Every structure is written in C-alpha cells, then in structure tokens.
Homo-oligomer: A and B are copies of this chain.
Amino acid sequence: MGTKEGLDYFFNAKSIAVIGASREPSKVGHVVLRNLFEGGFLGKVYPVTPSAQEILGRKCHARVTDVKDSVELAIVAVKAELVASVLRDCARKKVKAAIILSSGFGEIGRTDLEKEILDIASRAKMRLLGPNCLGVFDSFTHIDSMFLPEYRLARPKEGGIAYLSQSGALGSTTLDWAAGKQIGISKFISFGNASDVGVSELLEYLGDDDKTKVIIGYIEGVKDGRKFYEAAKKVTRKKPVLILKGGTTQQGSKAAVSHTGTLAGSAKVYEGMFKQSGIIQVHSIEDLFRFARALVDQPVPSSNKVQVITDGGGYGVIAADAIAKSDSLQLAELSPQTIQELKQKMPNYAVIGNPIDLTGDADAARYQNAITAALKDPNVDSLVVILLYQVPSVSSEIVETLVETQMQSNKPMVVVSTGGGFTEVHTKYLESKGVPVFNYPEEAVRALDALSKYGAINRKNNNSHSPALQFLESKPSTEKTLKKLRTAKKKKR
C-alpha cells in the first residue's frame, strides 16, 4: 500500500466512526463528536458505544461492525485495555485507518499493548495514528480529532502551513495561538507514540499535498534516522521544511526521555542531519511560525543581499545590526544608477544608502519610489520595509501601494510595523495580501534569513540536477511562467 493512499484517510475520509462516543460533555468521545458535527465535516459520522442509544441527536451503534455503511476512518477513545478488541472490530469492518487517542501504552511502559494493536492493524492493512495523541485537524475537510472544545482551543483558518508535532499539548496550544493570529494551517498532526505512522511518512505525505506549501514541525527525536533523512531529502526539494527540535541540551534531553520516551540524541548529530537533508532548523516556537509566514507567501530570493527601507532611523540601525548578525544575509549595495535615480526623486535630507532612510515625513510616493528602484536593482535580492503609521504623512492608502509595487517583482519583501490598534488595522490588510508583517526588525530579518537559506537549499538542489530543475529547464521562458503563476496566486487570495 502506498503512503498516499494509506495516509489519505486520516485527512479525507468520507465516513468516520467515533468509538467510545459519550453523552458526557466533558468526555473525549463527546468532544470529538461535537467537533465533527459542528466543525463543518461533510462526511458521515457514526457514534459507536454500547452505553447509549443516541448522542447529540444521532443514533449510536454498539459496535463498529453494527454500522451498515462502510467506515473509512475510526477515531478511538476507549480505555487502553479495550483498544485491541475495538481494533479487531475495525479490521472486520475493513476500516482503512484509525486514530488512537487513548493513552496508557508504550509511554507508561505498556509496550505489550502497543505491540498488540500494531499487529492487528498490520494484518488488516489498517493504518494507525497514535496512540497517545490528539490526532488530526484538517482545515479544508474539517476532520478533527482534537478532543478539546473549540471555545478553549480555536481552530485556525485554511492556509498553506502544515504542522506536525510529537507533543500534543505543544502542538495544539500553538495551533490555538496561530488561530488567534489569523495564520492559516492546511493540516495539523499530533502523532503521539507513532507506533505505526511516524514523522517520516507524514513528511512524505505532506510533500505531495497540494494544499501544503510549507511544513513545520516539533520533534524530540526520530526512531529511524535513515528513513527520516531520506524522506526529508526528498521533501525539501519540493517545499521548505522547518523543524524545532526539543532536547538540544543535556537537561532538555533528560526531560524529553520523561516526556515522549525519546532518546533525543546528540544535538550535533541532528543538526548535521537537518542541514544535509535541507531542513531548516529553528530555535524557538515563535520562529517556527515567523519563518513559515514568510515562506508560505513570499518568493524565494535568488541570493542574500537585503535592502532596508525605513521612515525611522533607529529601526534602520537595528535592522542593519540584525542583518550583519544573521546567518546568511548581507546588506545590499545599491548600484550607482539606483542611487542617482533616488537622489533625484527624494528630498535632500533623505539618506540614500542601506538603510534608505525616507525620514519621518515620508509619504506613499516616497515609499513607492524607493521600493520600485530597489526591486529593479540587480544588487538587491530582497527587501525589509519598515513602515511606521504613527506619522500623519503616511496615509492609509500606502498599504495598497506597497502590495501593488511588490506584485511587479519576483523578489521577496517583509514589512516591519510597530504600534497599537491603528497599526494593526494596516498590518492585517497587508497580511491578507500575502505580505508578512512583523512587530520588530529583528524578527523580520530572521524570517528573511530563513527565506534566504531556503533559496540556497533550492539552488543547491537545482545544481545537482533534481527532477524539479529538469522540468523547469524543459520549459521555455520559465521566469515569465513563474511570474504569471505568482500573480494569479496573489489575485486569488
């Protein structure tokens, strides 16, 4: 059975049995049912329990084998000791995949129970997610096995970021945070003990998933390093993969053993493996999302030279410092023609260099001139635009100018805007148009650094004649095609 077909049922099943359904609102088997009913899942849902006739107005079945129609996916929320018998029923019913939410397996030493359920599933060619996990949230199909109520844990909107987490709590709570920040997520997967489906297979699946543009993940360790490495190498040719690894210190590793039972392994070994396979390792939870926001919407820069444009001098200084300290970025040097052109168009007190300081009375025209000139300068690969809305000369229409100006170009741009409510209104507009906005220059520069690193990974892959490159090389005028695609994508938003 290929990965694609096997794993697809977790995200695209047309019929789901919730086994261990409950009338009790606080129980897992109740919350999952409610989320499926109220969350917008369009397929069929079958509550399975011997202890109720009806839950939330739907008829219950005592066993999954009592369901008349076919069942593609089972979500299992019964005690650990009962999971095996439930799975035997699922095997008989020819259920394709099962998410085992129940805990009480390998993580507390009951490897016997875990082996038993894995054997049942293998014999039946049924794929398992879990046990001891939150399972799946898919923003498109609304398959949702996270047993936490929506009012406590908001679900994010549709988007291009897929999110894998070895820790259910860390994954789900950051998902809730992302929902609050209007960050779109294609799929979230908490895989728990990963007795069957693990991070490597999920990575490959998401690599082929059209809805997913960027993959991010939290892991403490992988069981099969070679398999993971091969999967990552394949996937990073197609899209960026960002990983936060927990347990990069001795103290953190010790905590990871108590947590997921993972031997977190040497930080250096993982670091090398990530690097070689084209994974971008990030070092904080927030950076996972920061970097993903830039990578999901912005084009990949062709090299590492950054131009800073600002209306506040101090921010320019901080941005220049951050670029100088970054792993991969450098300050661009504007070409003499660009400097000439800008000097003609700007007031004499504006500073034409890097940063370009448009000064505190900058208006939309000044920004447009500077951005246009920088984007067409061959010495510039990407832009950090610092845009402070507090000064009255910056009219609200500037956000439209910004979006239009960047659309003319294939170079990435990130924006920095610091402030309260007035600023946020404009930030939301820009982000809705695919321009990532950050509160502070340091964050924006780090995100651009990730973009630049992914650009380098891309070029390395292309130079080694990857299939992707061969495909591109066979097309005439690739750049124009890409540009059209990009414009079309932007318009669709």
Which A positions have Cβ atoms within 8 angstroms of B?
A: 26, 108, 148-149, 151-154, 165-174, 176-177, 179-180, 218, 220, 244, 246-252, 254-256, 258-260, 283-286, 311-318, 320-321, 323-325, 331, 349, 351, 353-355, 357, 360, 388-392, 418-424, 439-443
Contact = CB atoms under 8 A, between A and B. Distances in A.
B418 A258 contact: no
29 contacts: A108-B349, A148-B390, A148-B391, A151-B422, A153-B419, A153-B420, A153-B422, A167-B315, A168-B360, A169-B311, A169-B360, A171-B314, A173-B418, A176-B390, A176-B420, A177-B423, A180-B420, A247-B321, A249-B325, A251-B331, A252-B317, A252-B318, A252-B321, A258-B351, A259-B316, A259-B317, A283-B442, A285-B442, A286-B439
Nearest to A172: B390
Contacts of A173: 312, 388, 390, 418-419, 423
A320 B169 contact: no
A168 B260 CA distance: 49
A312 B421 CA distance: 32
Given A176-B420, A259-B317, 7 more contacts: A170-B318, A173-B312, A176-B422, A246-B318, A247-B321, A259-B351, A285-B418
Given A323-B251, A391-B148, A420 B170 contact: no
Contacts of A246: 314, 317-318, 321
Nearest to A349: B108
This protein's copies in its complex? 2
List of 5 A-B pairs having minimum Cβ-Cβ separation, nearest first: A167-B314, A169-B312, A180-B420, A170-B314, A259-B313
Contacts of A357: 258-259
Nearest to A168: B360
Contact of A152 (B285, B355, B389, B418): B389
A392 B258 contact: no
Contacts of A389: 152
A173 B320 CA distance: 19
A254 B354 CA distance: 9
Given A167-B313, A320-B255, A321-B249, A418 B174 contact: yes
Contacts of A249: 320-321, 324-325
Contact of A420 (B177, B311, B315, B360): B177
A379 to B, nearest CB: 15
A173 B318 CA distance: 14
A81 to B, nearest CB: 16
A76 to B, nearest CB: 17
B313 A251 contact: no
A177 B418 contact: yes
A218 B317 CA distance: 11
B390 A314 contact: no
A176 B418 contact: yes
Contact of A324 (B252, B313, B316): B252
Contact of A439 (B108, B172, B177, B314): B177
Nearest to A108: B349
Contacts of A418: 173-174, 176-177, 285
Given A258-B313, A286-B440, A315-B169, A252 B320 contact: yes
Nearest to A219: B314
Contact of A284 (B220, B260, B285, B440): B440
